[in-house]
Amino acid sequence: MDDRPIGVFDSGLGGLTAVRSLRQILPEENLIYFGDTARVPYGGRSRETLLKYARQDVRFLRSFDLKAILIACGTVSTTALPTLAAENDLPIVGVVEPTCRRAVAVTKNRRVGMIATLASVRSGAYEAQLQKLDPSVQVVSKPCPLFVPLVENGRFAPGDIVIETVAREYLEPLRDTGIDTLILGCTHYPLLWDVIHGVMGPGVTLVSAGEESAFELKRLLTARDARADGARSGTAEFCVSDRAEDFERTASLFLQEDLRHAARRIDIDQY
């Protein structure tokens, strides 16, 4: 048994959907979340800049005595995870590998779609991982750059003409390729589940990155006998690098629960 907390970080608040999954799948674990809201978005930044930011995020989280880290940021998972794993002596789980393993398990026609930010699509990391797991799988990727700002501005309700129009433009060509599985390769996208499902139809299985990472972490902690005491409810602490005032509203959106916690602001440049 190990009651030390799990660290979770993302470039912003999108990673809170992974916190939501962790609270459902590992309700007894203590969590510390860091959202680098002062430097969001990471997508589009260079490899070197991303590695520098990710190292600072990890250094800040490790100022707590952690037992594991979940990288809830697709961009960092696809560009910096191997380096971070080599530099740190604790388990680090990203969003890419667990998600790809799930997609390969559920696809029947071996045609898998992947939507994400431009940077994540460009990295080719999901494609490479899927090919590694099953070379016969055909992958169709599509960047959806407007999904993140639209979600962050509350435009994710089915029937909203703005999100519906943008979603149809992005997803209809993808649907027409005949995929039967679609990876939501960005932690913001679970909020668009209904809209995306509406465009893709019942024949396409959606696989959410954050959720699969939470399952992966559960397996990993169980195998190491490092789960927290199951008799109690875990706590959650939230830190951000920019103004904390708007945190409750946005966090309630991503966690889909009425949040009573405030966030603490920290200076990430000092890490």
Q: Supply the angle between the helices 96-106 and 209-223 in degrees, to the nearest 10.
A: 100
Closest separation in Å from C-beta 208 to its own copies: 23
Binding segment for its own copies (CB under 8 A), chosen from 24-32, 153-161, 179-187, 212-220, is 153-161
DSSP secondary structure letter of residue 107:
-
Nearer residue to its own copies within complex by CB, 132 or 243: 243
Query: CA–CA separation, 85 vs 213, rounded Å?
Result: 15
Write down the least CB distance from residue 76 to its own copies, Å: 16
Q: Quick check: 86 binds its own copies (CB under 8 A)?
A: no
| Residues designated as active site | 73, 186
DSSP string, 179-226: -SEEEE-STTGGGGHHHHHHHH-TTSEEEEHHHHHHHHHHHHHHHTT-
> Rounded to the nearest whole angstrom, what is the least distance from the CB of residue 204 to its own copies in the complex?
24
Q: Tell me if 266 contacts its own copies by CB under 8 A.
A: no
Residue 161 lies near its own copies (rule: CB under 8 A): yes
Site string for its own copies, 6-25 (x = CB under 8 A): --------------------
> In Å, how far are 145, 164, 196 from 160, measured between CA atoms?
18, 6, 13
For residues 92 and 170, which CB has a smaller minimum distance to its own copies in the complex?
Answer: 170
What's the closest the beta carbon of residue 249 comes to its own copies, in angstroms?
12
Considering the complex, state which of residue 148 and residue 251 has its C-beta at the smaller distance from its own copies. 148
Query: What is the side-by-side strand order in the sheet with 6-10?
Result: 92-93, 68-71, 6-10, 31-35, 236-240, 263-265
Question: Residue 180 is encoded by which pair of tokens?
Answer: 């039967």
Query: CA dist 156 to 20, 44, 118, 165, Å?
Result: 17, 23, 20, 12
Q: Which helix (H) or strand (E) holds 10?
A: strand 6-10
- The binder of its own copies chosen from 25, 28, 38, 88 (CB under 8 A): 38
Residues within window 230-259 making contact with its own copies, judged by CB under 8 A = 242-243, 246
Report the helix count and the strand count for the chain, using DSSP H and E.
Answer: 12, 10
Nearer to its own copies, 39 or 62 (CB): 39
Work out which of 90, 146, 226, 266 binds its own copies, going by CB under 8 A: 146
Give the interface segment with its own copies, choosing from 31-39, 78-86, 195-203, 211-219 (CB under 8 A): 31-39
Pairing verdict, β 68-71 and 92-93: parallel
Stretch that binds its own copies, among 33-41, 66-74, 87-95, 101-109 (CB under 8 A): 33-41
Provide the binding-site residues for its own copies, judged by CB under 8 A: 37-39, 44-46, 49, 145-146, 148-150, 152-153, 155, 161-162, 165-166, 242-243, 246, 269
